[in-house]
Amino acid sequence: MTPKHEFEDDVKLDVEARVRQGVKAVLEEVLEEEMSEHLKAGYRELTPTRRGERNGYYQRNLVTPAGKIERLTVPRDREGEFVTEVFERYKRMTGDVQEAVLEMYLCGISLRKIAGVTDALSKVRIGKDALSRIASRLQEEQREWRERSLEEKAYPYLYLDATYLKVRWGARVSSLALLACVGVDEEGFREVLAVEVAGTEKGAAYASLLRGLIDRDLSGVRLVISDDHEGIKAAVSGELPGAEWQRCTVHFERNILAHVPASSMAEVAEDLKAIFKVRRVKTARALAEEFVELYAKRFPKAVSVFEERA
């Protein structure tokens, strides 16, 4: 698997984890409201119309298009008469809840968006107080992840990239434009440090993303890997002046292969990969010279890109 594919997989898994957490919050709050409606009374609320007692909770797992939610908390009543349609309705809404939660995490949480989800999940009308609780819970989960401290360990290597994350949570495939940063710690483990919606000005967006990481006590960065975008390089030099920058080889290869006809692409790609796989600088330089000699006349534009950026 290439570093680019590893990066995309890391981001997708992290986004799905955030979405599962949000879906769990929505479902649990809706179930609480349904129990209150069933008993005609809220938690520990005494009303003339109350018709039963709560009896704690049980936990269940729920398989979703974004992965399995574990230990979903479901309320019980003492009489054993509480029945919910939430899970059946949820199955019929395949993908819709996940997409709504992701949109709120990335673009802003609103009561209107939450109400759109809860109205479809339950025949019980979810009141404003409950909608506010759901919003607060989603906002707190979002805040905890986005503002979590990075001071416990150093991240010598950072990968920065704009990626189109394709998710198939329903009948359709959604493509999301995201900016992301994946850090590699001193033991070689990767961790998604930040994910933001991709804006129009890449340089300013990355500068903001890096400042956010520094505010969370990011430290020890020695090398940043990204595509060859002047705005990104300016952001790295401005926010992380002690770090080196290196061009992502996957982006480099793509730029070269863009000037190669499809019939020869596999051949050229194999020779390019051979250059970047070797560990010795002397060997890499020798292979690079062979590459130029072999393809200069056949694909001059591709070789020009290679020589300009190599």
pLDDT at 164: 78
| Domain membership flag for residue 34 | yes
| Domain membership flag for residue 151 | no
pLDDT tens, residue by residue, 185-230: 999 999 999 998 876 667 888 999 999 999 999 999 999 999 888 8
pLDDT at 169: 55
Q: Whole-angstrom Cα distance, residue 279 to residue 25?
A: 48
pLDDT at 71: 94
User: Is residue 17 domain-shared with residue 102, that is, in the same domain?
Assistant: yes
Q: Distance of CA 159 to CAs 81, 220, 293, Å?
A: 53, 14, 32
pLDDT at 167: 62
Q: Whole-angstrom Cα distance, residue 99 to residue 188?
A: 32
Phi-psi sector, 45: left (phi>0), alpha (psi -120 to 50), beta: beta
Among the listed residues 192, 161, 159, 191, the one whose alpha carbon sits nearest the alpha carbon of residue 177: 161
Mean pLDDT of the residues in the chain: 89
* Structure-token pair, residue 188: 């070689």
Answer with the residue of higher pLDDT: 167 or 111.
111
Q: Whole-angstrom Cα distance, residue 117 to residue 96?
A: 8
**Which of 86, 120, 146 delimits the end of a domain?**
146
Q: Whole-angstrom Cα distance, residue 157 to residue 240?
A: 12
Read off the pTM: 0.78
| Domain membership flag for residue 99 | yes
Q: Is the pLDDT of residue 64 over 70?
A: yes
User: Is residue 14 domain-shared with residue 106, that is, in the same domain?
Assistant: yes
What b/e readout covers 233-264, taking b as 16+ CB neighbours within 10 angstroms? bebbeebbeebebebbbbbbbebbbeebeeee
User: Is residue 215 domain-shared with residue 123, that is, in the same domain?
Assistant: no
Among the listed residues 106, 130, 105, the one whose alpha carbon sits nearest the alpha carbon of residue 21: 105
User: Is residue 138 domain-shared with residue 171, that is, in the same domain?
Assistant: no
Overall domain count for the chain: 3
Token look-up 């998604």 returns 192
pLDDT tens, residue by residue, 11-51: 889 989 999 999 999 999 999 999 999 999 888 788 888 88
The whole domain housing 39 covers 3-146
Instruction: Give 184's strand partners.
Output: 157, 190
User: Is residue 23 domain-shared with residue 121, that is, in the same domain?
Assistant: yes
The residue count for the chain: 310
User: Is residue 105 domain-shared with residue 116, that is, in the same domain?
Assistant: yes
User: Is residue 40 domain-shared with residue 125, that is, in the same domain?
Assistant: yes
Mean pLDDT of 87-108: 86
What contacts 266, CB < 8 A, 6 or more positions away? none
| Domain membership flag for residue 152 | no
Longest dimension (CA), the chain: 90
Which CATH number belongs to the domain containing residue 223 in this structure? 3.30.420
| Domain membership flag for residue 47 | yes
User: Is residue 105 domain-shared with residue 168, that is, in the same domain?
Assistant: no
pLDDT at 209: 94
pLDDT at 200: 63
Q: DSSP states of 100-140 as a string?
A: HHHHHHHH---HHHHHHHHHHH-SSPPPHHHHHHHHHHHHH
| Domain membership flag for residue 119 | yes
pLDDT at 221: 97
User: Is residue 238 domain-shared with residue 255, that is, in the same domain?
Assistant: no
Token look-up 């609480």 returns 32
User: Is residue 17 domain-shared with residue 31, that is, in the same domain?
Assistant: yes
pLDDT tens, residue by residue, 134-193: 999 999 999 999 999 999 999 999 999 888 776 665 555 666 778 899 999 999 999 999
Rg for the chain (alpha carbons), in Å? 25
